[in-house]
Amino acid sequence: MAKRKDLLSRLADAGEEALNRLGDAPGMDRVTAFANSTRDRLDELTKRVRGIEALESRVAKLEKQVAALSGAKAPARKRTTAARKRSSTAKTGGSSPKTGGSSPG
C-alpha cells in the first residue's frame, strides 16, 4: 500500500509540474486568452439560439393569423398578383422595341 501511495503522489507531483511548465511556455497566454474568448462567444451564441427559438414560435403564430385573415381578403390578394403580372409583362414588352429599333437601322 505504501508503494501505491508513493507512486500516486509521484504521478500527481509530475502532473502538477507539467502543468506549471505548460503555463510558463511561450505563447501560452495567447492560448489561454483564446480559450476564454471562445467560451464567451459560445455563451453568447447559446443565448442567441434560445432567442431564435422564441422568435420561431412567434412567427408560427403570426403565420397562422395571416392565413386566417388572408382567407377573408382573398380578392384583394388576387388584384396584387394581377398587378405584378402586368409589370412583368411590361418588362418583356420593353425589350421587344430594342430589337425592333435595331432592325431598321
Torsions phi, psi of 20, nearest 5?
Answer: -65, -40
How far, in Å, CA of 102 to CA of 105, rounded? Answer: 5
Query: Considering the entire predicted model, what is its pTM?
Result: 0.36
pLDDT digits (tens, 9 = 90+) for 68-105: 998 865 544 444 444 455 544 444 544 444 454 444 54
How many other CB atoms sit within 10 Å of the CB of residue 94? Answer: 9
